[in-house]
Structure 1
């Protein structure tokens, strides 16, 4: 998919919240009755509005890397096609499950002398991306190093040197050292090169790269990224639950149960609609729908039936309004008079200590549902890991 120049402004990123702690920022917004900020945060997280760019020579490895970030294996519908012809086009590939999570395939960095990094960076609109992966398969070219140096000079922190390698390559340490030597010899100090297997992101350095991303991105962007990434490891599932915790709090706040909201109570139909959107997002994020489970089975060489059978939560299989309303009603019927004062203080703004039934029901129903769905996702990943271990032992 090529994006027309006149549409580019649509994809410009504006961080609506850049607080160190998203939940505390949202509470502060509620304190000051700035509901628009809370609504913006909910929408941002629900649609995962992100722009990630992958720069470097166009190659099978680069294409595989983009597809893996989308969670799409080769041969599947929506896969990014390999480009056999070097092209100067700037290509945009929205994620099929999260359309506002866009991967940008940047044109190759010209290997010419002299090379002006500003010309290239302006041409690809380098500053608009939330994250840029500078990829290479051997050692970084002098032109790529110039882009690194310019990014450092502009204090762009979310630029990552990514050495794409095959999992079969047994000489990874020497490849990393050669890349580091090329960088330091050209003036790049404190460089970090991440070894990434583009077809198996859960291995090598990609988990460490995500840890560094979590430190550098504004928290709302990190949470949005977490929600859009495929479920690579059980540890990532736990991180996704943390991200959904902030989304659930914000959604519950907007449901009408907190006294700072002018409308004292919102109809259950409105609450259930918001809850359905949150849980549909959770199902897609945790890769629990039939298509995602079947895709994972193909990636791991397994039959999909046993994986599907591990989904014991009905919402993991299908998010229906009937099931969501049932869960909301079940929680709302409980007696919350003994609700822990400490949890109240953690959950709501300081001057809104009386927790309404709508807020409480939404908060607990959604958190419980996401816990159940995350448990199913962890079981599926653990099953895959065990089968892979059995296969290695038998070989």
Structure 2
């Protein structure tokens, strides 16, 4: 059991609450990913103050408000670029779709976007990618561009180019900055550039040197156009584990408002073990917050410790985790096709598909029993509810760890096949 929550349950005294309030921030910092957590400094401060003063109802309310904000957060991402820049391919990559999928963004060598076009994520409908036309056309001049596309509707802007960034891109970036929005320059198709360079200069070709030249060329062009300290991410839409894609992902997460990080973290593809682990950390943080809220509720008179976690809810929880990590039934079929193997073989290698073996694990009940022994000394505590709450905590962690382990296992298999 989490040490902080265990300490909370063992001693429900004013003195202990004050000590826990001191330990809250250091402990929370160990739970979150390097991209940050779901709680803002203001919310953390409110939770800490409520705990210090023993106002557990206020503490519960602050945690619940943060969880609700996270679950209901909408995310709107604007992607800007001209024809052939790789804008639609970028959107499809983040949505986990092939270009031939029915709901994919149109990809072509001619301009396919003449007006703003929304594309919802197929698994996370609260997340929308907006395919926006490039600037400089008669209908979308830099001076009026943001007003025409409705800049207030977007959380951040990604400006894409497959060669050099234009003066119009630089002007637009400055206008985005002036209205207080974040923007990022993304240089696509670097895999094609590297391939072409290696073929034309086989003796002198050096990958890192070529990448540095591309980055320097883009940066110099933007600086000369008036952009101060531009951040440029070199990516390939077809190889998201390479180049700057992981760095772009981490940067976006760090710079989003706390309550919106969770939505972006869950939709990002499993491009590496680090990305899977980051996703696991976000979900583990949420489990911890729910457990802390339930622990606090157990000491508030006339409040229920737990709303319930019956078998249908348990099955849905496991299903949600599988969905987050790309292990839902449809994704498994796609993975089997990529690996040129049967769906049966893939399913046979995954532990997260055996729901009953997970929920019947005796170790979960044993852990819950051990953790709750000290709770019996607390006056007025609903012991049975506490036991159930702790069992839920361990069961969710069991689901999460099993699914993330399977995701890493499949990723390794896919990387092995690609290398071969």
| Structure 2 unaligned regions, length at least 5 | 1-37, 195-209, 376-380
The answer to whether 1:137 aligns with 2:170 is no
1:232 is matched with which residue? 271
TM (norm. structure 1) is 0.77
Q: Report the alpha carbon displacement of residue 202 of structure 1 after superposing the two structures with TM.
A: 1.4
SS of the residue 1:284 aligns to? helix
Aligned alpha-carbon RMSD (Å): 3.6
1:389 is matched with which residue? 419
2:79 is matched with which residue? 54
1:123 is matched with which residue? 148
Residues 27-60 of structure 1, C-alpha deviations (whole Å, 9 max, x = no match): 7788453656544544555566322221111437
TM-aligned CA distance change 1:311 to 1:173, over 3 Å: same
1:263 corresponds to which of 303, 309, 333: 303
Q: Report the alpha carbon displacement of residue 24 of structure 1 after superposing the two structures with TM.
A: 7.5
1:368 is matched with which residue? 398
2:123 is matched with which residue? 97
Q: How does 1:1-395 map to 2 (within 5 A)?
A: 19-20=40-41, 31-33=56-58, 35=60, 38-43=63-68, 45-46=70-71, 49-59=74-84, 61-82=86-107, 84-111=110-137, 115-117=141-143, 119-156=144-181, 158-170=182-194, 171-252=210-291, 258-259=297-298, 262-266=302-306, 268=308, 270=309, 275-298=314-337, 300=338, 302-305=340-343, 306-314=345-353, 326=360, 331-332=364-365, 334=367, 336-338=369-371, 356-390=386-420
TM-aligned CA distance change 1:46 to 1:200, over 3 Å: farther
Judge which range, 273-282 or 211-220, deviates more: 273-282
- Paired positions, count: 355
Larger radius of gyration: 2
Kept after mapping to 2: 8 A contact 1:48/1:225: no
Judge which range, 222-231 or 364-373, deviates more: 222-231
CA distance in structure 2 between the partners assigned to 1:336 and 1:21 by the alignment: 36
Kept after mapping to 2: 8 A contact 1:49/1:101: yes
Residues 181-204 of structure 1, C-alpha deviations (whole Å, 9 max, x = no match): 111101211111100101221111
TM (norm. structure 2) is 0.72
CA distance in structure 1 between the partners assigned to 2:188 and 2:366 by the alignment: 54
CA distance in structure 1 between the partners assigned to 2:373 and 2:74 by the alignment: 35
CA distance in structure 1 between the partners assigned to 2:227 and 2:391 by the alignment: 53
| Structure 1 unaligned regions, length at least 5 | 1-16, 345-351, 391-395
TM-aligned CA distance change 1:98 to 1:27, over 3 Å: farther
CA distance in structure 2 between the partners assigned to 1:264 and 1:140 by the alignment: 58
SS of the residue 1:200 aligns to? coil
TM-aligned CA distance change 1:18 to 1:366, over 3 Å: closer
Q: Report the alpha carbon displacement of residue 288 of structure 1 after superposing the two structures with TM.
A: 0.7
